[in-house]
Structure 1
Amino acid sequence: MRSLSGRLRIAASVVLAAFLGLTGLTLDRAFRDSALAAARERLQAQVYMLLGAANLDAFNRLALPQALPEARFSTPDSGLYADAMDNQGNLVWRSPSLLGMALPFFPAVRTPGDTQFAPLISSDETKTPLFVLAFTVSWEIAANQYRLYTFRVAETQWNFLDQLWSFRRSLWGWLLAATGVLLAAQGLILRWSLKPLRRVAAEVTEIEAGRRAELSGDYPEELQPLTVNLNALLRQGHAHLERYRNALGDLAHSLKTPLAVMRGALDNGTSHAELRRTLQEQLERMNRTVDYQLQRAAASGRIALSTPLPVAPVARKILDSLAKVYADRAPRLSSEVGRTTVFYGDEGDLMEILGNLADNACKWCRQRVVVRAYPADRGEHAELVVEVEDDGPGIPPDQAPLLLDRGRRADPSVAGHGIGLAVVRVLVEEVYYGQLDISRGSLGGALVRARLRFQVNG
């Protein structure tokens, strides 16, 4: 069963049928017990009526009048029968309605006041089903002389069975009708409840066909995590594709100028030394351009459905690597990153940001480099603040914006391509929609602060 709707319908139908079935059985049992109790009470009342009419004759024998209060006792085969036995089990009286019949054997009740009630079958050839009630009394026949008599009253079960079957037909008929109505209502409820899922499937099909860019946002809160993260995946894919397209366009445009310079140098018949110098300059320029555009295009950005990435291990790994690279200078590299500080994005992007900033700090520091990272909540967005500070000469405020451009370098004598800060700026501002600032820190050198923004819900 691959259909979610089908599973829900089958499960709900089974539960509904089981519930109504148990309800019907419970009601049937309750009605049957109630009808049995009513039959017993009727027979008990008939016994009390016979006791009220009974008396002793001149020979101290039990006698009942010919005209009994209940006329059915005087009518043969009326469905209501009675007799009386002494303590020896001998019949001392029987109702005229028992003409040609005999009540089934019923153990005599020996204790006064005791009552027995049971469904039995008549002992004649008709095998009529009966309800029989026996009641024993102690009758005073003389002073301090008592005699036990057991009165038995019987009634056919036909009225009881007719009532029971009539109730059962009515009960199960209404339950079946209620089942049909509830199943129809259940189907409508399930169809209405699953409508958002069908809409998600339809919108995904439209996205595949290119008629829609992402899912609409007006879904129930149970589906919000799914749709928000699907939209985040779609936006992430579109952003990656757009970055690759822009990077390829920028790369093609950026390579036109050095290629034109090299072609011009070749066509103008310049000297070998001048041509060599020109080619070397333009090749270096092309190399920086390719490196910059490739790093810019490779940025992953916020990864939907990803787990938060702890920052402290990444920062420690980068600082350990830089300690080996700059072992001849032996700078003091320290990390002030809490264990609970996390990054919502690709590990490569974080390493690119921390690595470029820490590498620049190591190039310009005298002795110390400090890396910090801490969270800053901003309502529906979350921010991660990354700071890299050194104790070097610092960066003048008027030069800070220039260093963020690709290929700009504060000191040409220091090794590098001049694209590190530019790549960081692109990652911070274009990929993570944050802000990159350069100022003077407490150590006296440069303080580069990157604010990265993330969507909390996806």
Structure 2
Amino acid sequence: MEPRQTQREPPSRASSLATRLFVSATAWVVVILLITGIVLSSVYRSASERAFDRRLNLYLRTLVADVATPDEPPDKQMQSLGEPLFELPLSGWYWQVTRTDGDKPDIRASRSLWDKKLPRLEEQGNELTAAGIRIGYVEGPEGQTLRIVERPVDLGADGKFLVMVAGDASEIFEETRAFDYYLGGTFAALSIVLVLTTIFQVRFGLAPLKRISDSIADIRSGRAERLEGEFPVEIAPLARETNALIDANREIVERSRTHVGNLAHAIKTPLSVIVNEASARSGDAFATKVLEQTHVMRDQVAHHLERARIAARPTIIGTVTEIAPVIDALRRTMEKIHRDRGIMIDVEADTSAKFRGERQDVEEMVGNLVDNACKWAEQRVFVEVLVERGSGSATRGGGEGGPMLRIIVDDDGRGLSPDERAKVSRRGARLDESKPGSGLGLSIVVDLAALYGGSLTLGTAPIGGLRAELVLPGV
């Protein structure tokens, strides 16, 4: 019979939750810092533009004042700006005053313009602000971007003028770019600090969950029986409920055993009375038939009660049994039972072998196999226990790839043919009525091994008889 497959053990929920929290927190940190950086960069650019515009407006008011005092000598007009860049050719800083009420515009401009002209914002569709000015960006004489401010001035009889002052906008762009570099560096360092802080918080904040996960794994593998230790207030209810679930599971199994035992006694006693009464009338055909059917009933009841009893056992969490002491005790018992035949039982057991289940179950399985081998052996029975780690078999509670126990029982008897091996594994089947027993031993071993996710296979022993190979989950 092949081992029954169970579902793959799910990955650690604590680590999965930690990963999701870390990714989520990191994403939020990046998004928040990115939005904050964009807002701060925009605010700083606006502040730089306002500072630049205040400087242009100062020059503009000075020019408007000069235009509004036409009685000023020509050599003194437009000389009070005090900015050497207006004198440097094509410096990026220009002013220009255009008379707009004549047939031919009269243009006066800073020396820095040479023979160039400034484009008019009015022609580009810019509207006047509440302060009566237009402001925006234009392309300058040398292709540079200029920040320009212009104001129409109406002096009545003295004429209409358009006063313009422009400055190189690269100052704004360079200041904003430098600020962005500093801001990016600062936010990068801040992001690293926040990510490290998040890692620290997630790692240590979820440590109790990881501890619970490890403790449950220890309970399942038999290294512990309960969740022990102190847990944070948020996790303590989970630990209490888990321990309560384990206790409830144990109580259910114990009650099931008690009921099975009571039922066994309740049924076996009436059957024994019937057998005794029928045996007292051995010459009666009816009594003989009753006796025959009573034996069948007794075997059936024994089988099903045994199955009911063993079905509950593998549900107990965290039970582990050392195999070597069990095998040694069985060897001594079987040698005493079969001492009149001189059967020698040799044992070779790995001292580290541990069974993931209860002692009475492994005693029953191995005991049936060893007893059966002793019945059919000529002189010798050999028992070997091996531990196979990472075998990849799926077992109940063991996950995939856990250790497996391989218990081999060989005898030097006549052995069995393939057809006979298939027959003896069936419930109640017996090949030789001269040997004592009900024929349920191997069937019980097969059923109990299957409940633990193991298997029993029969083959030919190297010493000449039958080989029974029992595979069970280990630790």
Query: Please, what TM-score do these two structures have when normalized by structure 1?
Result: 0.50
Counterpart position of 2:42: 29
Counterpart position of 1:85: 98
Is residue 132 of structure 1 aligned with residue 148 of structure 2? yes
> 1:43-442 to 2 correspondence within 5 Å?
43-54=56-67, 56-57=69-70, 64-66=77-79, 68-88=81-101, 90-107=105-122, 114-122=132-140, 124=141, 126-139=142-155, 145-216=157-228, 218-246=230-258
Aligned-residue Cα RMSD (Å) equals 4.6
CA drift of 1:183 comes to 0.9
The answer to whether the 8 A contact 1:132-1:155 is kept is yes
CA distance in 2, matches of 1:171, 1:139: 48
Does the residue aligned with 1:105 lie in a helix, a strand or coil? coil
Counterpart position of 1:38: 51
CA drift of 1:221 comes to 3.9
The answer to whether the 8 A contact 1:73-1:82 is kept is yes
2:92 maps to a residue whose letter is G
Evaluate the alpha carbon distance shift between residue 242 and residue 149 of structure 1 in structure 2; reply closer, same or farther with a 3 A threshold: same
The answer to whether the 8 A contact 2:18-2:202 is kept is yes
CA drift of 1:234 comes to 0.7
CA drift of 1:230 comes to 2.1
1:96-141: CA deviation from partner (whole Å, max 9, x where unpaired): 121243212332799896200011101x3x211100100122325x
CA distance in 2, matches of 1:127, 1:101: 12
Counterpart position of 1:281: none
Task: Structure 1: give runs of 5+ residues left out of the alignment.
Answer: 269-296, 301-458
1:124-167: CA deviation from partner (whole Å, max 9, x where unpaired): 3x211100100122325xxxx35322210000112111101101
The answer to whether the 8 A contact 1:67-1:74 is kept is no
CA drift of 1:198 comes to 0.6
Does the residue aligned with 2:107 lie in a helix, a strand or coil? strand
Evaluate the alpha carbon distance shift between residue 9 and residue 172 of structure 1 in structure 2; reply closer, same or farther with a 3 A threshold: same
Of the two structures, which has the highest relative contact order with CA contacts closer than 8 Å and spacing of 6 or more? 2
Does the residue aligned with 1:118 lie in a helix, a strand or coil? strand
CA distance in 1, matches of 2:119, 2:152: 17
The answer to whether the 8 A contact 1:119-1:131 is kept is yes
Evaluate the alpha carbon distance shift between residue 60 and residue 49 of structure 1 in structure 2; reply closer, same or farther with a 3 A threshold: closer
CA drift of 1:25 comes to 0.8
Equivalent residues, number:
279
CA drift of 1:184 comes to 1.2
Does the residue aligned with 1:199 lie in a helix, a strand or coil? helix
Counterpart position of 1:9: 22
The answer to whether the 8 A contact 1:55-1:63 is kept is no
Counterpart position of 1:445: none
Evaluate the alpha carbon distance shift between residue 243 and residue 55 of structure 1 in structure 2; reply closer, same or farther with a 3 A threshold: closer
Does the residue aligned with 2:159 lie in a helix, a strand or coil? strand
CA distance in 2, matches of 1:91, 1:100: 14
CA drift of 1:244 comes to 4.0
Does the residue aligned with 1:120 lie in a helix, a strand or coil? strand
CA distance in 2, matches of 1:243, 1:63: 115
The answer to whether the 8 A contact 1:217-1:227 is kept is no
CA drift of 1:62 comes to 11
CA distance in 2, matches of 1:77, 1:92: 17
The answer to whether the 8 A contact 2:97-2:107 is kept is yes
Query: Please, what TM-score do these two structures have when normalized by structure 2?
Result: 0.49
Does the residue aligned with 1:103 lie in a helix, a strand or coil? coil
CA drift of 1:92 comes to 3.4
CA drift of 1:241 comes to 2.5
Percent of pairs with identical residues: 26
